[in-house]
Amino acid sequence: MNKTEQRRFERVQNLMAFDKAQAAQQLLLNPDFAGMLSLNVAGMDEAGRGPLAGPVVAACVIMPETPALLWVDDSKKLSESRRELVYEEIIGCAAGVGVGLVSAAEIDRINILEATRKAMRQAASMVTADLYLIDAVTGLGLNGMENAVIKGDALSYSIAAASIVAKVTRDRLMRELDAKYPQYSFAANKGYGTAAHIDALRSWGPCPEHRRTFITHFVEAASDA
């Protein structure tokens, strides 16, 4: 094992230890788990809360203890090519994977926080777990214990895995939308408000995948020009 692999192994062990500690704490403190020797732990995260266009996507993932995937980490710390590779590894070994998606139109109707919760509920409905470790979001009302973890994708192995699944799933969807609406360069910006994306929005106006509640300022600015 080279130095990079050794560092990655130590990093993954720390992420896995966090999940084990969370499960152990629930076994001790939660009477619902009395008599149980271990818990089925799922991690949950989302991708796409901030962009001007496209859906918000959530993932719920249960990871086995082995094999320990060396590159599972906060998706933001990985390159796009690395995320794609690790995504395939996660899908290949995960004990459970669920994905939820809420459209731009629905985000406009119910707001981004409620849309994120809805996508997470969809994802969790496909995975049965005793304990859900969720990146920052509360109040999902799942069939299991919920533990919201601030910056969970940087602390938890299962949340980090979910962050990769959510990010890769959404990125692939945005590449598909790029083929349909090439003027906005969704493949490059993934719907985020880059300068080029805002210029295109002002030149072409919004497409059906734009979040109207997110782009009002830019559209008004274009009309006032």
Among 170, 171, 168, 162, smallest CA distance to 59 is for 162
Q: How do residues 155-164 score in pLDDT, each as one tens digit?
A: 999 999 999 9
Q: Assess whether pLDDT exceeds 80 at residue 8.
A: yes
Q: Are 184 and 52 in contact (CB under 8 A)?
A: no
- For residue 223, what pLDDT band results from cuts at 50, 70 and 90? very low
Q: Cα(124)–Cα(160) distance, rounded to whole angstroms?
A: 16
Q: How do residues 184-203 score in pLDDT, each as one tens digit?
A: 999 999 999 999 999 999 99
Q: Cα(152)–Cα(158) distance, rounded to whole angstroms?
A: 9
Q: What pLDDT is attached to residue 222?
A: 42
- For residue 1, what pLDDT band results from cuts at 50, 70 and 90? confident
DSSP assignments along 158-180, one per residue: HHHHHHHHHHHHHHHHHHHHHHH
pTM: 0.95
**What is the mean predicted confidence (pLDDT) over 109-126?**
98
Tokens 């266009």, located at residue: 53
Q: Assess whether pLDDT exceeds 50 at residue 224.
A: no
Provide the mean pLDDT of the chain: 95
Cβ-based neighbours of 194, under 8 Å, separated by 6 or more = 188
Q: Cα(177)–Cα(125) distance, rounded to whole angstroms?
A: 26
Q: Cα(54)–Cα(10) distance, rounded to whole angstroms?
A: 36
Structural domains of the chain, with CATH: 3-172 (3.30.420.10)
Q: Is the peptide bond before 31 cis (omega within 30 degrees of 0)?
A: no
DSSP-derived pairing of the beta strands 41-47 and 56-62? antiparallel
Q: Cα(20)–Cα(104) distance, rounded to whole angstroms?
A: 36
Q: What pLDDT is attached to residue 220?
A: 65
